[in-house]
Every structure is written in C-alpha cells, then in structure tokens.
Copies of this chain bind each other. A is one copy, B any other.
C-alpha cells in the first residue's frame, strides 16, 4: 500500500533524497539467522557506485553503507534491518536555472504539479541516487536467498546501447565482469566504448537494455493472478528510474510467434522436467518452472543533456534550458546492479510467500 515500499513478506521501504543528509532502506521481514555484515552489502554498492569509468557520472561518493539495526553478532535477528548511506557530496552550488525551469523529460514538472514542492538540489526523491538503497537491500536479499535456496544465482548484464545490440553468439558469462558495460559480449564492449565516448563528448545521452537472469530458482514460486512472479518482476523493474519497458522471456517479441513456435516442449530429466527452449522466460501462469527466470528492461536516455531544449518556468513562461554538470551518458550501465537487486528482492519475497502458503512444493513429477 505504502508508496515507498516494495514486496509482500520481504518488504523494502526506501527513503531519502539525493541532497539530504542520508538515504537508505528499511528492510522488514528478513528471516533471522542470515549471516551479514556491512562489507557484504558494500560489495554490491561498489558495483553501482558512480565514477568508476568515464561512462558514468563523475559525482564521487563513497556510498558507504551502515547497518543501524536488525543485526546482532553478525546475524539478522528477524527484526527490521536499517541500511543507511550518508550523502557526502552535497556541495553547495549554483542551481541557477533549475530552480525555476523544468527539464524536459525529467520528473521536475510532475513533481511540482503533484506536491507543490520543488527540491531543486538534484531531483530529490526522483534522483537515481534512490537506487543505492535498493542495491543495499538487494545485497541483504542475496544472503538470505543463500540460506533458503542456495542454488540461486542472479546476474545482470547489458544487451543493447542505443541501436547497438550484443551478438548472442558471443555470449560469455565470464566476460560480464570484464568490461565497464557488464556485457557478456566482449566485442560489443569494445565497440560500445568508442560509440559512447563520442556521445559523451557531444553532451548527449542514450538509452539501453538490461537483462537480468536468475538461475537455479525452484519451480513453484508465484501465483496465477495478481501475485504472479512476472507481475512482481515487472513492477520491480518498472519502478527503477528511467525504465520504460519490461519483458519476460520473449517479451514483446512473443507477439510475433505462433503457438507452435512458442511452445517450450517438455522432457523428463534426472532431477525433474527439462524444456527444449525457454520462450516463457522461466515463468508459466505466473509461477516459476525451474528454468532460468529471464527479465529484460529498457532504460531511457538521461534527460540531463548539453543540448538546448525548449521548456517553461514555474510561473508559466516559455524559455530554454541546458543541463550542465556531471551526468551519465548512459544511465543504463548503472542500472545493471539495480536490476539484479530488484530480482533478488522479488525472488526472496516469493520464496517466503511460497513457504508461508504452501510449506513446500506439493506436486511431485515422476
């Protein structure tokens, strides 16, 4: 219900804005006995941290997480875990134009229209900084998953920047950590570096597609109608800043398939059902099949660009705007660890929901 919470049983409420004293995540419903410390969460925050390559914003913040509650002697207690990240880079600057003008393609205008409050310091609650809280919560979710379903592995990567897509023939899991784009296609990484560098220098920005895969998810998670695993994944990914589309398995391309082509045929393997293909993205009727759960989302280009755009002021006068300052030429890059975090939160939540309602999987095959 609440506007800043996500999840059913593993419930994450994020708080804080880009230029306040701190931001964080209040995590309720974490199982007790999960081994966790700040370093384990910091690992994932460091992955998202800006300023790691020339392709991300040069705002430099340590994004150091502090655990304020819910952990005792290195283990979760089962009570709320408060994960706080202090904002250190609140340098006073001349906000100039932004105080009065709305940036086209940015939440400035809708924020003002809804709340009548303008936090001109950097996007306030609509800043991408909010996603740091999600990454922290996702880090905790990953450790809790290890306890309940240790085979689950969650990995995100980029499959497209602008019109440049990866070649699936080059897909190599081991490449993902080897390049600043978290892409499994080494060749694409090289090409994108050149392309993005040009774009960055011209002060423009571009969109991207991120794919997140969860391997080892047990069959049976989800439910047929509104608490579908794919419904919750769609909500999770669409809630990330700048995301405009979400796909499960074939996604929008499912429209182009015939029933014959789309059917993932079923065989009997050693440990249960096996499938000839995975058009379904690991989810049938809202419930996981045991195959890889595959989600993809599109991130729009940053609205903060160096090109002059037409806009209006709070008082309704027509004018123009250029957004100077540090920005990400492709915010999609930093969305990779955010997408992974959301996947982790959704998977854990559904593991708990399933255990709550069902206890354990009931329908054995074979």
Contacts and interface: CB of A to CB of B under 8 A. Distances in A.
A296 to B, nearest CB: 8
Contacts of A268: 312, 316-318
A46 B83 CA distance: 27
Interface stretch (A55-63, A72-80, A89-97, A172-180): A72-80
A362 B207 contact: no
Interface string A285-320: 111111000000011111111010111101111100
Given A26-B15, A226-B6, A113 B219 contact: yes
A261 to B, nearest CB: 8
A152 interface: no
A21 B66 CA distance: 10
A138 interface: no
A310 B143 CA distance: 38
A156 to B, nearest CB: 15
Interface string A6-35: 101101011111001111101011011100
Given A111-B287, A259-B307, A284-B110, A79 B125 contact: yes
A200 to B, nearest CB: 11
A143 to B, nearest CB: 15
Given A115-B362, A265-B309, A316-B366, 17 more contacts: A2-B9, A2-B227, A5-B28, A15-B80, A20-B72, A22-B69, A78-B358, A80-B125, A114-B287, A114-B363, A115-B358, A116-B363, A235-B238, A238-B248, A244-B250, A245-B253, A266-B311
A355 B356 contact: yes
B235 A244 contact: no
A79 B224 contact: yes
Copies in the complex: 4
A254 interface: yes
Interface string A256-273: 111111111111100001
Contacts of A356: 9, 352-353, 355-357
The 8 A-B pairs at the shortest CB distance, nearest first, are namely A107-B285, A316-B366, A356-B356, A116-B362, A110-B287, A205-B259, A15-B80, A234-B238
9 contacts: A9-B357, A105-B263, A106-B284, A115-B363, A124-B224, A160-B255, A205-B258, A246-B246, A260-B305
A358 B15 contact: no
A29 B298 CA distance: 29
Interface string A339-363: 0000000000000111111110111
A68 B21 contact: yes
Q: How large is the interface on A (under 10, 10 to 19, 20 to 34, 35 or more residues)?
A: 35 or more
Contacts of A161: 255
Contacts of A214: none
A88 to B, nearest CB: 14
Interface core residue of A24, A259, A273 (most chain B CB under 10 Å): A259
Contact of A80 (B4, B78, B316): B4
Nearest to A239: B231
B363 A3 contact: no
Contacts of A235: 226, 231-232, 234-235, 238
B310 A266 contact: yes
Contacts of A280: 105, 244
Contacts of A4: 28, 79-80, 223, 225-227
Contacts of A315: 365-366
A266 B312 contact: yes
